[in-house]
Chain A
């Protein structure tokens, strides 16, 4: 009797073990189910590279290039800001900060990671956006730049904590060897420790960027939502994620607009898949 009960429990455990694979596949399948239908109206190249996004016009224009460029601009901007500062902060915490402060700093970073994105979007709206408007004398502060700054901020906890893990796991003997040869602490850091941790840091950066690409609410609240091809970073833009969030409420179920938004979802899923798998490979490379 006990054997039977255990057999059932163990089968249940196996079933749950496979749950993650099941859900990933399920998500992809349902995205495909609704999203592939858009390619009855447009071809994939028209969709991916089309320059105008007017989904509610007759006939609808379903080119997501402006959205891709919007996402790209905001992401690149965020990357340029968050990578150097994030890695620098990780180095500081891992190598330079005195022990007592280390814990406070790590808590501060964790605190930032916990703040919901809608709250950060709200704060960005009331502080960052007016600030950028006045500094650059713009008609509106809702710009790609504001988005980039805010998203950089949101990516940093991911970058800092994973990079810090990577730095921490570099064997102490490397550092001691360098110092024993007369290197200063900084020289040991940038000639020995950083290169040794490079694949972990790479993974940290990729995961941070992945977070940025997938961010929805904060972006929606501070980048302005203009679905046109941006010419400068001081213009309002629209990202892939914000498009879905902003327009799904109005799209009629079963319309081309509806399918198109799911197709955008497929694009996002594929991008995040590539980024996450890539980052994971980097992390595993490091473990070897």
Chain B
């Protein structure tokens, strides 16, 4: 076969296309097949996981399961306290993370100059996002449980989770704020509005959907995390419901961990059922975020 070379075309970067003895079209077919298989290798198991959990968990989902307290050391009964606990923790986390995260994003979008401080803040956000969840647990233990003496409680757990989801809220809100066109800000300022008035009347109302989306994603993340709540709040077996924020509480992710690894002979239906409830909760929140994002994109007036 020929060995033709085409060198140094005027376009950049310079390309050398050599036809060797391999047919390039065949190479492409093989390469694309490999790419396709790789993709399948990821996507198919995802589908399988969902199918397995639904299939084996659905039989366990009864009204009693969802509303009853656990009995017989988790071998029967329901998971209501865990569901409630998760809801409390997640709500607490968002109450903490949303205001701080949103205002932080407002700072970055509306006030920060592109200087070293801004770079440092963004680096800090990247870092917070990357800290291992178990290290957050340690931090929560050291700061809230021990130093502030809140003890293992909803308060400690919610605050720890709140700091953990802060980067998610900031990043999503920042994106939403930056997507509001600069021309609106100029028009507002030129009419005599101050920077804050512009933010309040023009920028924020038009960034709401992105902010809500980010919040829901943060909620979903907080609901599914186990390690941060291991030492800061989670109780192994607490049949009664919490009375105040200083009480311990059960939580779905921890509950799943415990009945899969620590408690022998738990009925399969209960295990898969718990997994299903947790998965459904998280996926539902993600779905809601996506739907809101799409709805608002269509409604966007500019």
Contact = CB atoms under 8 A, between A and B. Distances in A.
A276 B129 contact: yes
A276 B127 contact: yes
B271 A122 contact: yes
B256 A119 contact: yes
Contacts of A156: 42
B191 interface: no
A268 interface: yes
Given A122-B271, A153-B45, A186 B283 contact: no
Given A88-B39, A177-B11, A186-B31, A23 B196 contact: no
A13 B130 contact: no
A244 to B, nearest CB: 5
Interface in B125-139: 125-139
A184 interface: yes
A6 B194 contact: yes
A128 to B, nearest CB: 10
A184 B132 contact: no
B226 to A, nearest CB: 5
Taking chain B's interface residues, is the majority helix, strand, or loop, or is none over half, making it mixed?
Answer: helix
Interface in B270-302: 271, 275, 278-279, 282-283, 286, 290
A10 B128 contact: no
Interface in A217-255: 217, 220-221, 241, 244-245, 248-249, 253
A279 B41 CA distance: 26
A216 B158 CA distance: 19
A121 B279 CA distance: 13
B187 interface: no
A259 to B, nearest CB: 11
Interface in A116-145: 116-123, 125, 127
Contact of A217 (B17, B53, B100, B257): B257
A56 interface: no
A60 interface: no
B197 to A, nearest CB: 8
A27 interface: yes
A119 B15 contact: no
Contact of B127 (A30, A177, A273): A273
Contacts of A127: 52
Contacts of A111: 46, 50, 283, 286
A160 interface: yes
Interface string A19-54: 111011011001101100000000000000000000
A49 B279 CA distance: 40
A261 B138 contact: yes
Given A118-B253, A216-B227, A181 B6 contact: yes
B190 interface: no
Nearest to B129: A276
Interface in B207-258: 220, 223-227, 230-231, 253-254, 256-257
A27 B135 contact: yes
Which residue of B35, B42, B170 has the most chain A CB atoms within 10 A of its CB atom? B42
A28 to B, nearest CB: 9
A184 B19 CA distance: 11
Nearest to B37: A88
Given A26-B143, A118-B226, A184-B25, A18 B35 contact: no
A217 B146 contact: no
Contact of B107 (A13, A109, A116): A13
B193 to A, nearest CB: 11
B223 to A, nearest CB: 8
Given A17-B121, A21-B120, A191-B15, A85 B134 contact: no
Interface string B123-161: 111111111111111110111001100000000000000
Contacts of A80: none
Nearest to B227: A216
A23 B166 contact: yes
A88 B38 contact: yes
Interface in A261-277: 261-262, 265, 268-269, 272-273, 275-277
13 contacts: A20-B104, A21-B124, A23-B124, A23-B163, A34-B142, A97-B39, A107-B290, A108-B42, A118-B256, A122-B271, A192-B15, A265-B138, A280-B122
Closest 4 CB pairs of A and B: A116-B224, A17-B107, A214-B132, A88-B38
Interface of B: 6, 9, 11-13, 15, 17, 24-25, 27-28, 31-32, 34-36, 38-39, 41-43, 45-47, 49-50, 52-53, 99-100, 103-104, 106-108, 110-112, 120-139, 141-143, 146-147, 163, 166-167, 170, 194-197, 220, 223-227, 230-231, 253-254, 256-257, 260-261, 271, 275, 278-279, 282-283, 286, 290
